[in-house]
Each structure stands twice: as structure tokens, then as C-alpha cells.
Amino acid sequence: MLKGKSIILGITGGIAAYKGAALCSKLTQAGAKVNVIMTESATKFITPLTLQTLSRNPVYVDTFDERDPSVVSHIDLADHADLIVVAPATANVLAKLAGGHADDMLSTTLLAATCPILIAPAMNVHMYEHPAVVRNIELLASRGAMFVEPGTGQLACGYVAKGRLAEPEEIVAAVEAWFAVSGRLRGRRVLVTAGGTMERLDPVRYITNDSSGKMGFAIAEAARLMGAEVTVVAGRTTAAPPSGVALVKVESAQQMLEAVTELYDEMDIVVKAAAVADYRAASISGTKLKKDGERLTLALERTTDILETLGKRKKHQFLVGFAAETEQIERYAMDKLRRKHCDLIVANDVSADGAGFNGDTNIVSVYGEEGLIEAMPLLSKRETASRLLELVAERLPQFGGSGV
């Protein structure tokens, strides 16, 4: 899986730096070309000579230690890397990367990189849970960085808690998993809808569905990481959209319908994760509605069912719908899949803990024409999205020709 791959291994200044030697060795033995970049602090824990011996390549520490006059080292390394792994990643390097700082060889190379980045944090539990660190991790993840979460165990400070670097075997497995799926959707065009629609009542009021957009954005990010060309049509969201995707902002169900149908014919995969309002005001007041009496009666009319419209127009597209339910999940999911001509339905009980709106986790079951395909446990929305796109990639050869 890793044979011939060019990987930069960034090692930063924590006690877990000693695990960097085992990680470097395992990546090299798996056939990868490993270039190690160490921070100055990392050299206090483990020597560059150790990593040079294991990688069989020079180790970089000083930005100004240019060895080849024909290239600028940090640019050349970044340009030729298939993946950058930072392990261990201290709180300091997370802050540098999040803030765009470039004051040493590693941070400068990271800033110049266009390849994916896999980060394995390691630090004291209180540092890992500090709001600043949490925010930096969330920011980096929103930009497409991938993470191998730290484990729970004995920390160097004496605590037994979460914060220890994942074992080298776990990190290598994450690297292999990335390369296994990274190209599975290459050449495919993917359309994702996200967020809730807003149906205006007057210039200051509207009705909407509860949605942060996190699930749709996670799916878009996963598709991009798998090599797809991704377009997101987003309504009202509270989450930040991922980088590297084309974003079309809309407000109402009608605007979303128009945007999606305009793009539909050129798409290979469409994932309808948006929470679209089923009803809108029969008439929108041009001025603010004034309070008049104890009750206000609104006349509503049905919006066009976007998923059903796409199902009827489907030619080569692989169509995935979502079903947010509170009861009889399988019955409603299978009914929706068949009525709306979907290839997959992702259903969840939004009343279950960890599976509702606005959170970072989800619990979903994926259904196909044959019934339940996979019932996923409580996972992060990013992990849920990755698993869903893997299911889609596996089924693509049945839909739209040659497959991936």
C-alpha cells in the first residue's frame, strides 16, 4: 500500500518523540520514502542521527541548512510529498499550523504543503482539553487535516488519562487507510446539499428546519479527500464549510431546487443531506407582520420535493438520501428509498443521544434496495461520512459504468 509513496514525518518536541523512531521504521519497512523533519525541541528527546539511520534519508531541522543549491528544501519537500504525518503533534505545533505561522523548518514546510496532512496529537490531558487546543483542532479539521486521536493511558506527567500518542501501528494503519481510499472517487463529480432552508414569512421572520450543516459538510470533505470534484449547495448553516470544494449558497427550498437541478446532469454522485422545509408561506408579506390579537394563522403550501425530483430525473447518477426520523426507522427509510428512487438512504433516530442536530457525532443506518447494509455505532460525523462514501464507492461499478 505504501510502496513508492513519499511521506514527510514531522516530529515535534514532546516525550512521545521517541515513538517517532518506531513510526519512521515501520513506514520505511512498508516501502514508503520517508523524509523526517524535526523541530529543535524534538532533538532534545531523540537525535536526528537515529531518524536518519532509520529513514535512510537526511533529517531536516534548520530552515537555513540548505544542502542543495538547486532547490529550496521546504518547498521541494512539500511539492513532492504524498502525505505529511505529524507525530507527535504538540499543542504548540497545532497552534502554529492553525495560525499559519512559519518560524522553523516543519511549520514552514506545512504552510507550503498542498498534500493531505495527518496529525497525531500528544500532550497532557488538560492541555488537550483546553479550549484553545480544541479550537485549533477543529479549525485544522475544517481545512481538511486528518487526525489520529490520542489514546488513554499513563502520561509522562503522571496522569492516567487521554493524551498519549497513538501507537505507531495505529498511525501506520491510518496512513494505509488513507492511501486505500484516497483515489477511490478520483474523476467523479459529487454534489452534496447541506444545512436547512429558510422560508420567509416577511422581511424579518422565517420558518426553517433544524440543521447545522455539519453532516453535509463532513460528506463533502470526505468526498474531496477521496479525490472527487465536489460542489456543495448549502442553505442556512452554523458550521464552516470545508476547503477545496465549490460552494453555492442558497436560502429557500426553491433556490436549492433550482441550484441542484441546474448541476444535476453533470454529477456522478448526489448526496442530499440538507434539511429542506416541506412547507413555505403561501404569500410572503413585503412588510413586517404586526402583532394583531393572541393568535396568528399562517397559510402554508408544499415545497417541491427535491429528492423525489432528482429520483425521477435520474439517469447515471448514484443518489443518496437522508431520513431523519423519530420512530419506525427502517420502515420509513425503505419507503423513502423506493418512493424517491434512491440508491441508498441514510437514516437516523434524531431523538437518540449523540444522533441529533448540531452535534459532532451521529448514529446512522444505511439502507439499500436489499434492506439494511450497515448499522453504524456512535461515530464522529467525519467518520460517519468516510464510511458512507466508502459504501458508495464500493457500489459505484453497478451504477454509471466503469466504476473506480
Q: Convert the pLDDT of each residue in 151-210 to its tens digit.
A: 887 777 777 778 889 999 999 999 998 888 777 898 899 999 999 999 999 999 998 888
224 close to 251: Cβ distance less than 8 angstroms: no
The predicted model scores a pTM of 0.72
- From 24, 115, 157, 342, the catalytic residue: 157
Cell, residue 201? 414569512
Domains of the chain (ranges, CATH numbers): 6-181 (3.40.50.1950), 189-398 (3.40.50.10300)
Percent of the chain exceeding pLDDT 70 equals 97
Which of 321, 313, 324, 325 is CA-nearest to residue 368?
321
pLDDT of residue 295: 84
What integer best gives the mean pLDDT of the chain?
A: 90
Tell me the C-alpha distance between 16 and 35, whole Å: 19
pLDDT of residue 232: 97
Convert the pLDDT of each residue in 356-384 to its tens digit. 666 778 889 999 999 999 999 888 888 89
| Residue 263 vs residue 361, higher pLDDT | 263
Tell me the C-alpha distance between 248 and 245, whole Å: 10
| 63, pLDDT greater than 50 | yes
pLDDT of residue 324: 84
Q: What is the mean pLDDT of residues 46-65?
A: 94
Which of 66, 136, 146 is CA-nearest to residue 94?
136
| 401, pLDDT greater than 80 | no
Buried-state track 364-377, b at ≥16 Cβ within 10 A, e below 16: bbbbbeeeeeeebe
pLDDT of residue 356: 67
Q: What is the mean pLDDT of residues 22-29?
A: 96
Cell, residue 288? 413586517
Tell me the C-alpha distance between 388 and 177, whole Å: 15
Convert the pLDDT of each residue in 207-242 to its tens digit. 888 888 899 999 998 898 888 999 999 999 988 888
Q: 279: exposed, middle or buried (C-beta count within 10 Å: 0-12, 13-18, 19+)?
A: middle
| 294, pLDDT greater than 90 | no
Cell, residue 307? 429528492
In the structure, what pLDDT confidence band is assigned to residue 398 with cuts at 50, 70 and 90? low
pLDDT of residue 400: 46
Q: Which of 35-39, 136-140, 193-197 has the lowest mean pLDDT?
A: 136-140
pLDDT of residue 210: 81
pLDDT of residue 404: 37
- 33 labelled binding-site residue: no
Convert the pLDDT of each residue in 296-350 to its tens digit. 888 999 999 999 999 999 999 999 999 988 888 899 999 999 999 999 999 988 8
| Residue 294 vs residue 254, higher pLDDT | 254
What totals of helices (H) and strands (E) does the chain contain, helices first? 13, 21
| 403, pLDDT greater than 50 | no
- 272 labelled binding-site residue: no
In the structure, what pLDDT confidence band is assigned to residue 87 with cuts at 50, 70 and 90? very high
Tell me the C-alpha distance between 152 and 313, whole Å: 50
pLDDT of residue 145: 87
User: Can you tell me which residue has the cell 410572503?
Assistant: 284
Q: Is 157 a catalytic residue?
A: yes
- 103 labelled binding-site residue: no
Distances (CA, A) of 7 to 46, 147, 169, 368: 20, 16, 16, 38
- What is the DSSP annotation of 33-95? EEEEEE-TTGGGTS-HHHHHHHHTSPPB--TT----TTS-HHHHHHHH-SEEEEEEE-HHHHH
Which amino acid makes up residue 370?
E
- 340 labelled binding-site residue: yes
